[in-house]
Structures are given as C-alpha cells and as structure tokens.
Structure 1
Amino acid sequence: MDWFAMTVLLLGGLAFFLFGLDQMSSALKAIAGNGMRKMLGDMTRNRLSATFSGAVITALVQSSSVTTVLVVGFISAGLMSLTQSIGIIMGANIGSTVTAQLVAFKITDYALIIVIVGFSLMFLGKREKLKQLGTAIMGLGLIFFGMGLMSDATSPLRDYPPFIAIMRNMAHPLLGILAGLVFTALVQSSAATTGIVIVLATQGFITLEAGIAIAFGANVGTCVTAVLAGLGKPTDARRAAAVHVLFNVIGVLVWLPFIDHLADFIRQISPQHSELTGDARLAREVPRQIANAHTVFNVANTLVFIWFDRLFAKLVTKIIPQKAIPLPKAAQPIFLDAGLLDTPALAVDRVELETGHLGELVLDMVNASGSGTGRENPPDVSKIDKRAREVDLLVVEILDYGRRLSSKALTDADGARLHRILDVVNQLRAVADTLGNNLSSFLHEWESRQLIVSAETGERFDRLEKKVQSALRDAITACRDRDYKKARSVIKQKKELRKEIEDFSKHLSIRLLSNDPDRAETYRLESRVLEIMSRLFFFARHIAKTVSAPPSKDKDHDE
C-alpha cells in the first residue's frame, strides 16, 4: 500500500470536487441574479409555495447557505416574517439533495469532456451569461473528475482488511452519523460528504444502511455552517440558523430507529441489477440508493414538519430571545404596566399618562431650542440631540404597548381613545424629529457660514419662534393635563400665525434685493427657518385638535 500516493490522490480529488462545486455554485448564482430574490419574494404566500421556492432556488444555485443568506436579508428588511422563512429553509434541504442525485450518475469517465465543453463556452462565449454557463458546466465536470480521482485513490483498499472492517462498523447507525457529522463540519459541505460516500459505494465498500447513517450525520454536520454564519449576526439571523439546526437534528432523531425500514423501501424503488452478485452488485446499486435515500429523507421531513412552522418559530424565539437594550433613564416607561393589559380601560389610562411623560421630554427639547437665529438665547444642540434619541426610544415602547393593548377586547370608547392618544404620540415624535434633525442641521449650517441677520429680521424671528414654542408648550401641556380650553386656544392661533408667517415671507423677499453678497444664501436659510416654524405649529395644532376631540367620543371629556 503506497499510503502517500493514495493520500495525495484522495485529497487532490477532494480538492477538485470542492473547487468544482464552488465554481458551479458561484456561476449559477450569477446566472440566476435578481431572479432568486424575486422568486423568494413572490412565493412566500403560504407554506407550500415557500417550501417550493426554497427547494428550486437551492437546486439552481447548489447552495443552501445562499438561500439562507437571502432569507435573513428579507427578514431584516421586514419583507418576510420568521414563520414565512421556515418554509424556505426546509425547502432548501430538499434542493440540496440535487447534488447527491447528480454525483450518483456514474459518468466520471466523461468528466474531462464536460470540462472541455464548459471551458470552451467560458473562453469563447461573447455574452456574460454564456460565459457563466460555461463556468457552471466546467465546475460540474470538475466535480466528476474529482470523484474519479477519489475512486482511483480508494480502489486499493478493496483488499485491505482493516479498512474493510472499519467500513463494516459504519453499519452501526451512531458511528455512521458521527463520521458524517465530523467530516461535514470539517469540510463545511454536506455535498462533499455525500460525494465521498457515493465514491466509497461505487467501490462496494459501504452498505446502504451505512450510507444512510453517514448522510444523516452530514445533515446534522451542515448545521455547523449555519451556526457559524449566525455568530455575531442579528437575532433573526441566529433564529434562522436555529431553525436549520432544530429541523435537521429532530429529523435525524425521528428517523434513527427506522434506518432499516428506510433502506428496504429505497431498495424497492431504486434500479436493481440482479444479474450481478456480491460487491459488484453493491457497487452498481448502492450509489443511486444512497442518493434516493437522501432525497426521500429530506422530502419526507419537510412534508411533515412544514405544518409546524409556527411552532418552530415560537420555539426558536424562546431559545434565542431578543436582547434587551438598556434604555436611558429618561426613556424608560414610567406608567406602562404589562399586568394591566387584561384590564383595557386601565391600560389606556396608563398609555395616556406615559404620553404625558413623552410630552415632558419633547417640552424639554422645545425649551432647549431657544431662538434659532437670535443670539440672546442660543439653542442647546447637544441637549436637543440627546432628548431626540430618548423620545424615539420611548415612542417605540409606547407604540409596542399600544399594539399589544389593541389586540385585547376594547370597548368602542376605549378603542377610540387609544387611537387618539397614539396619534398624539406620533405627532410628538414628529415634533422631536423636526427639532432634532431639521433644526439641528440648520443651526450647524448657519453657524458654519457665519451668517448675520438684520436687527429687524432677528426681532421678527424671535417673536415668531416664541409664539410657535408657546403653542407647542400649550398643546403638550393640554395633552398631559387634559386641558381642553388650552387646546382650543392653540387651535384659534392658526389665522394669526399664518398671517405673521406670510408677512415675514414677504419681508424676506424684499430683503433678497439688498446688496449683501451673502443675501441669496441667507434668504435660503431664513426661508428654511420659516418652514420649520410652520411645520412645528402644524404639529402643535394637530395635537391640540386631537386633545379637544368631541365629548361624545370620550366619556371623561370635561368642559
């Protein structure tokens, strides 16, 4: 036995096999292009269509990991739920069996012909798609060429008793599963494991039962790739990997006691060569039988487990909970109590109180905004930015509580009240966004350009900003204290403020004709201030109108 030559030939064959698989997968991905995304997006309406799309995409690109990456991208973008993704992940397992079916064809003698055809298309093709197709065909040829080398490397072992003994021990399911698991985890490819098993089967080294056990191990081992891909990724990515692990591990555990029954069934449905005997018959029949067993196993598992997709989703959500990000103290809810969700009327009261807390944060931003272009009361930009982040976080908490509350049995009055409160929450967030984004960026640009306004324009700005800020304070206070009279006073300011803004706009237009070289830039930024002030008053008035809703819709309305 020339162990060195045998090892070199075996590893060289494995290298060609893996390289060819990678080349074929990469080329098919390029050919499929955006069609993969479109197909996954269009075919997730129900369990079966999602499973079918996962199987087809994986069969096309010869890589279940690519399908999983696409799925995670859809989940992260909010275009697909975790439950929808489970069908695709299960379908990917079916698609991955196509590789085993391909390598089971004993066409290693024609491997180099396939390589030549692929290389010719790749080298002579004018269009990119044709070149990619050539690369895919060449990759397929390299897969079969690598299999041929591995087969040649292992042929001397036919007469080596220790190796034959080891192969016979593989008939024990646990040893076979362990061998398949370890090897797949090492090479990060279940297709490689299946390929080597089929190569061994062509030499008559391995029985169908041993081949099934090793294929089971490969199914579990491929989960290592999914787990490694999920490390350090967002929660949904790790949950998708967990679904892959659970599905494969549970499937193997369910089938483990029935390997002999599965083998008998596969022998009945696979081609038989009764004219042969002994190892020659095994070498002819077992490769196709192993490929068929791999397909039947994955198809059966998917057809059974796909109906439990919601259960899988709940399970992985509990196993991998969303990491709680500690909230800043000011953004922590004070009044929201999950224990009151089953008492909707009291829970609505809590949402209203928390909205008052939110209003106080926004009021703090209003007070910190000072006078946008005046220097007597300069804005505290750092405080505005800090409060803006806190407002965003608290709004998320309030809306999440409101979403859970809305699923409860609310009366019409409580439902209408909750809707109005959440409307105010969104308006308060809009005020915070305007102050935190538009006003802050405006102030930064104003100061960087070192622009100066005239005394008259500065006075007008101060007067308008004070009125808008006062309206915001009154609207937020009216919301917090349920002060309907104050809310109506804000609404009545519409005509006065609109006229003041129109007069101010005319004043700025006249100033545009001055000889100041920076006048055009100053006018642009001054007009932007007017737009911001107008928008802030719109939000203030909207809040006030929501607070002063008709009494018939709110049992606690007090004139």
Structure 2
Amino acid sequence: MRSLPAAPPAFPNLQLSLLRIGVPVLLLAIAFSAFAVEPDVAAESPDWVQLFLGLFGGLALFLGGLQLLSEGMKKAAGQALKTVLAKLTTNRFTGALTGAFVTGILNSSTVTTLLVVGFISAGFMTLTQSVGVIMGANIGSTVTAQLLAFNLSAYSLGPVAIGFFMMFSAKREKVKYYGMMIMGLGLVFYGMGLMSSGMTPLRTYEPFLVILKGLENPLAGIAAGALFTAIVQSSAATVGIAIAMASEGLLALPAGIALALGANIGTAATTAFMGILSSKSAEATRASVVHVAFNVIGTLIWLPVIWLLADLSVWVSPASPELQGAARAAAEVPRQIANANTLFNVLNTVLFIGFTGWFAKMAERVVPDRALPPGVIVQAQYLDDGALEAPSVALQAVRLELGRVGEITLGMLRDVGPALRDRDLERIEDIARRDDEVDILEAEIFRYLGRIRVGHMTERESAEMQQLMVATDNLENLADVIETDMVALARKLVNIKSATEGETRTILIELYESTLKSVGLAVQAIRDNDQRAAESVMIMKDTIRDQSERLLERKATRLVATDDPDYLTLVRMQMSFVDQMRRIYTLAKRIAKVVLPPGIAQKD
C-alpha cells in the first residue's frame, strides 16, 4: 500500500506564500523606483539611467500588483464563479455574458479558459458553448484597462497601506483575500504613476517621438503590442503602458488603439503557444485556437477601418473642451484607448456570436483527437499544466482524472463477474493488465498534486487536496484487490470442476451486484463531488453485511463431509469471494467518505 504524502499546509500561512512569490518582485521594483527622481522636463537628452529605473521599476510594481489582485480575486470568489460558469452557459449569449463577468472578476481570461476546458472535458459544456464564453472572456479582460484610465496614482499608496494591514492583521480568510485585492490594486496604480512620471522627459526627445509616430501605422502598432505582450505575459501591462504614455501626451489615439489590438493578439497567441507545448489535452489546445482565431480575425476586420473604431471611442468618451493641445490629449486619450479596447472586443463578440459552431468545427479540424504515442500504455487526459496556476481549477482536473481512474477500476470489477461465470482465462488476464493503467494514472495524479501551488491554496482547497489524495490511494488499493485477489481466485476457478448450486449462486450474484453498485456510486461521488451518491454508498453497508452473512450461514449449515477436493476448494473460494467483496466495499466507502461533511462521515 502506498503511504500517503503529507497533507499540504493550509492557507493561513498567507504571509509565507507572499514572501515566496510577491516580495521578490516588489523588492526589485522598489530598488528600481527608489532611484527614479522627478526628471527635468526641459532636458533635451533624458537621463537614461533614471528613466529606465523609473519605467521598469513601475512595470515591476504594476505586474506584482496585478498578481496580488488576481490571486485575491481568485481566492475570494473562485469557487462561486466556477459554479456560475458551469450553470450559466446553456447558450451562446448567456455564455458570452458569463465569460465577461467571470473574467472581469478573476482578472484573467486564461483562468476562465482553463475552467472552460475542464467543463468541456467533464461533459458539462460543449466546445460550441465554450466559444461564447471565450468571446465574453475577451470583454471581461478589458476591465483592468478601464480602471487604469481613471489615473488614480496620486491616491495609490492609501490602498497599499490598507490592503497590507488587512492581509497581515486580519484573522478571517475572506478579509485577507480582500486585503490582497486592495493592496494589489494600489500597487497597480502606483506602478502606473511611476511609469508615467518616468516617461516625462521623453516628451521632448525627438527620436522617441518619431518612433511613437511610426506606431500610428496600424501594422507597426499591432506588431509592437503583440511582441511586448508576449514578453511581459500580460495584455493589461501593454494597455497600461499605452495609457500611461497617453496620459503624458506622448501617444496618439490611433497608436494606442493599434497597441491594444496587438495586446489582444499577443495574449491569445502566447497562451496558445504555451498550451501547445505543455498541454496533454486536445480540448485545451482547441480552446486556445478559438481564442487566437477570434482575436486575429477580429483585428483583420477592423484593420482597414481602424479610424472608425477611433471615432466610436471618441464619441463614447468624455471630452475636456476646457483644455487645449497636449493637455487636452493627455486628459482624453487614456479613456479613449480603454474604451476602444472594450469596443473592439464587444463589437467582435456581437459580430461573431452567430458563428460559434463554425469556430468550434474549425478548432476540431486544426486540432484532431490525439492518439497515444507508440509504446505508451495510458496517459493522463485532464492533468493540464496550465491549470496549475489556479488551484481550484487544478483540483477540478484531478477530480476528473480520478473519475477516469475510477471508470477503469469499475470496468475491471464489472468484468470479473462474467470472467468467473464463464471461467474465461483470457478475460481474466485482461483484467490484470488494466491494473497497470490504474497504477500509472495514480502516480501521475500524485505527481500533479505535488505540483499544485500549495502556498496559494485556501483552507478549503487544501482540505480538498488532502481528500483527493486519500481517495486516489483507496481507489488504487481497490484496483489492487481486484488484480491480486480476485484475479487469483478466478485463475484457480478455471481448474475446478464443481459448480456452485442455485441458491448459493443467487446470493453470490446479489452480493457482487451490490458491491459493483457501491463502487460505481463511489466513483460518481468523487468525480462529481456528489454527496448524495456518497451517502448512498454509506447506506449500502447493511445490505452488503446481510448478503455476506446469509451466504456464510448457508455454507455453515450445508457444509458436508466429503473427500471431493474440488468441492472443498470451491467452498473456500466462495468464502474468499465474500471476503473480497467486503474489502472492496470498505474501500468504496472510504472513497465516498471524503466527499461527505466530517460530521456525517464520522457517524459510520
């Protein structure tokens, strides 16, 4: 029996996880930004050291703040949003609205896409339905840009202080999560302010102004936006820098729109590229292909009429007629860029929402179902590396893979009955072979669980992880009972000439079917987190016990003295069969218990 790995630490160790992940980034940012003093605006040639320290220090704070904001949102609302996403995607329109809402809250279209992949794999959602959600996710990803356009950097240190105090002094998990969100938002605005002030001397630096003028060429701007997004792995950072430059009067609206369109392509293409490299799931790659196709086709449609998108964004944005020249541009263009980014994604969703079926078929043709590599017995289907960034999504992937292991184990037990009845040696050996598949997938699950970002888990996720570890171990033990004991029993039975009489045969079949049902319910319980199925397994305890005792009593009363070795061997085998059925039910019960609340599980 495999010894269980140590349970992961619970989320109260929040400070340690922040020190491990966020602090290095923030210290680097502070080291840069500490030297970034307010430069001389009138200087002809910028002080490049101070400029780059301010710009990249601000960018590091911006990205570190985005990470804190995203982590806080995922922890505060991740489970609830996962439920919303599963239930409100019955058609393409509600799917798009739900995708926009969930992504706006999670601050990550990538996490939304990962959730969608899990639902497709589980059969809760079709690929066609997922296309609407991915389109809506693009809309939700523009929320950050809308916030940045408010230019609240002057007040940003207030949220940083408040959030820090909440994170390190609050006792309740929810308050800590909200503190992460508030501190992250403050750091985002503070980083924006540093980037903006760092670029101030570039207002009069002619070579840089020429470069920015060149970005007004849509192709150049889109390429620059896509490239920068691929480097920093964040479309919000690209749009944020565009807004920061616009707030200094450095960037015109056409160039800002081109950068934003390129950022949309860059984030989708980067996600797709990483998914192709690391993903074992065809569904994950198809979702990435849909994301890329949606953004690229949308950009190609708007490319000839980018002036129209600019006019629309000006029309819906507030004006500042009391200002003139560069001051007016600095006041108006940041909001216009943010609105153009949102309009681009909203209008594309409206245009393409009727073609979700086409996008799904295109993705299926581009990414066919994957066959196993030569020589590979079995491969994990749901354990996608991309999901590791979001523990709740990764645990859902483990649950789905565990359900798959359960189906293999259930199939082994389901075939034991006919193999015993027909004394079919070929089928018996096939059952034994399938245990290798269970062993391989069990090892993959434990390895994947060990890679989940433990320091980023909530108490609930940490408890769920421990439950899945227990269930995986018990399911593997159950398969071992079938492969070792039941198969050995079946091999012996092949050489026995005696047959089981009618009444005993009936009781044995009833016991076997009850045990088979309990295993099926246990697999359903752990795969779907179904407490009703788990409760049904627990209730079957009396049935299994009564059927076992009936058979034992019958054999005790009908046992006769005989010299027939086959008869005595058959009786011993029947007793052993009863014992194995009870062991299998005990393991099924242990699997089901992990789904039930502690109070109910301890009653048994």
What is the CA deviation profile of residues 50-92 of structure 1, one whole-angstrom value per residue up to 9, with x for unaligned ones?
1111000000011111101100111111111101111111000
Identical positions, percent:
46
Map 1:370-409 onto structure 2 (within 5 A). Answer: 381-382=428-429, 385=432
Map 1:30-41 onto structure 2 (within 5 A). Answer: 30-41=75-86
Map 1:92-491 onto structure 2 (within 5 A). Answer: 92-231=137-276, 232-324=279-371, 381-382=428-429, 385=432, 440-444=483-487, 460-461=498-499
Corresponding pairs, count: 403
Contact residue 228 and residue 238 of structure 2 kept, 8 A: yes
So what's the TM-score if we normalise by structure 1?
Answer: 0.65
Contact residue 97 and residue 294 of structure 1 kept, 8 A: yes
What is the CA deviation profile of residues 513-540 of structure 1, one whole-angstrom value per residue up to 9, with x for unaligned ones?
99xxx99996642447999xxxxxxxxx
Contact residue 432 and residue 487 of structure 2 kept, 8 A: no
Contact residue 498 and residue 570 of structure 2 kept, 8 A: no
> What does residue 525 of structure 1 align with?
576
> What does residue 23 of structure 2 align with?
none
Q: Distance in 2 between matches of 1:148 and 1:273?
A: 21
Mark the CA change 1:272 to 1:382 in structure 2 (over 3 Å): closer, same or farther.
same
Amino acid at match of 1:159: T
Mark the CA change 1:529 to 1:112 in structure 2 (over 3 Å): closer, same or farther.
closer
Aligned-residue CA RMSD (Å)? 3.9
Q: Distance in 1 between matches of 2:215 and 2:237?
A: 18
Q: Which runs of 5+ in 1 are unaligned?
A: 329-363, 391-435, 469-501, 532-559
Alpha-carbon shift at residue 119 of structure 1 (Å):
1.5
Alpha-carbon shift at residue 99 of structure 1 (Å):
0.4
Q: Distance in 1 between matches of 2:436 and 2:186?
A: 57
Matched, 1:8 2:59: no
Q: Distance in 2 between matches of 1:100 and 1:316?
A: 29
Q: Distance in 1 between matches of 2:57 and 2:550?
A: 84
Q: Is 258-267 or 243-252 further displaced after alignment?
A: 258-267
Amino acid at match of 2:177: Q
Mark the CA change 1:218 to 1:508 in structure 2 (over 3 Å): closer, same or farther.
same
Contact residue 263 and residue 293 of structure 1 kept, 8 A: yes
Q: Distance in 2 between matches of 1:326 and 1:162?
A: 54
Mark the CA change 1:60 to 1:371 in structure 2 (over 3 Å): closer, same or farther.
closer
> What does residue 530 of structure 2 align with?
none
Q: Distance in 1 between matches of 2:169 and 2:486?
A: 61
Mark the CA change 1:32 to 1:512 in structure 2 (over 3 Å): closer, same or farther.
farther
Q: Is 296-305 or 219-228 further displaced after alignment?
A: 219-228
Q: Distance in 2 between matches of 1:383 and 1:233?
A: 26
SS at 2:182 equivalent: helix
Q: Distance in 2 between matches of 1:28 and 1:144?
A: 17
Alpha-carbon shift at residue 307 of structure 1 (Å):
1.0
What is the CA deviation profile of residues 245-283 of structure 1, one whole-angstrom value per residue up to 9, with x for unaligned ones?
000000000001111121122212211112222211111
What is the CA deviation profile of residues 282-336 of structure 1, one whole-angstrom value per residue up to 9, with x for unaligned ones?
11110000001111111000111111101111111111122345999xxxxxxxx
Q: Distance in 1 between matches of 2:374 and 2:572?
A: 40
Alpha-carbon shift at residue 507 of structure 1 (Å):
5.5
> What does residue 510 of structure 1 align with?
557
> What does residue 350 of structure 1 align with?
none
Rg comparison, structure with higher value: 1
Q: Distance in 2 between matches of 1:42 and 1:129?
A: 24
Q: Which runs of 5+ in 2 are unaligned?
A: 1-45, 376-414, 438-478, 507-548, 562-568, 583-604
Q: Distance in 2 between matches of 1:164 and 1:380?
A: 76
Alpha-carbon shift at residue 443 of structure 1 (Å):
3.6
